[in-house]
Amino acid sequence: MEDLSGIDWEDAFENGGYIENGSSYPDLWAKRAAEFRSRHADRMSEVAYGDAPRERIDIFRPDGASKGLVVFVHGGYWLKFSKDMWSHLAEGALSQGWTVALPGYTLAPENSIPGIAQQIARAIDHAAGLVEGPIHLVGHSAGGHLVTRSVSQGSALSDETAARIRRVISVSGVHDLRPLQMHSMNTRLGITPEIAASESPALLKLRPGVKVTVWVGAAERPEFLRQSSLLAEHWSSSDLVAAYGRHHFDVIEELSDPSSALITALLSTD
């Protein structure tokens, strides 16, 4: 696809190179996640929502009755990471009495972005059948795309589950897939103009009745600020929050803090 923008899209979507000690974060996430699972082994179960190896959901249940279901979808440009690296991000909602589900999905290029979106919709449907009450969704980066795609009109999410979704927060999400057609990772993602049009939340309508907050680190790269602003403008009923001083890798840390502004927003029932 010919690019007439003059923008260096390789640089635009680069995060780690602009974050101090950026390469250290994946090991840190994995360490914190493993420690969290060890501390909460009695609260955790893994359930399958399909036959593929990655079609599994980690579920953490609180002490006592659950207030509802929070689903966290991880990022990694649909190409890397797994649900096991993010267990510690369940702590904030779990401590507030919510059940937290972290679904896995088959990564590209083995799977396509439409296929991943369908997997996440099925995972949310499956988790919804295990937990009563309201459903709140949160996703980071590519996971932000996947949760907002789930509440876009035309998603594979069942109407029954969609009716229970009260709040969605996309944290530093990718909502416009069109620029990724000019990135080298598209040799593995396989985004065509047709896929960009059908799978970009910023080009789709929001399902009625869902409260969306678009959350982004104020210190993020310009493209991620643009992606967030674009969705907030397109879905005019949504809120846009720029977290002061936060970058793409630490903006999600507040999910592990029960008293953080991000957890307060995520669990709000207003």
pLDDT higher than 90, residue 3: no
**Euclidean distance between CA atoms 253 and 197, whole angstroms:** 32
Task: State in words which class domain 43-267 has.
Answer: alpha beta
Q: Which among 93, 92, 162, 104 has a CA at the least distance from the CA of 134?
A: 162
| C-beta of residue 81 within 8 angstroms of C-beta of residue 103 | no
pLDDT-based confidence at residue 252 (cuts at 50, 70, 90) = very high
Q: Read off the tokens for 101.
A: 């589900």
**pTM, full prediction:** 0.96
Per-residue pLDDT, 196 = 98
pLDDT tens profile 32-74:
999 999 999 999 999 999 999 999 999 999 999 999 999 999 9
Is-contact 133 66, C-beta < 8 A?
yes
- Decide the pairing of beta strands 239-243 and 211-217: parallel
CA angle 201, 205, 210 (to 5 degrees): 90
Domain map of the chain by residue range? 43-267
User: 147-159: per-residue pLDDT in tens?
Assistant: 999 999 999 999 9
Q: Give the pairing of strands 44-48 and 239-243.
A: unpaired
Q: Percentage of the chain with pLDDT > 90?
A: 96
pLDDT at residue 183 greater than cutoff 90 = yes
Mean pLDDT estimate for the chain = 96
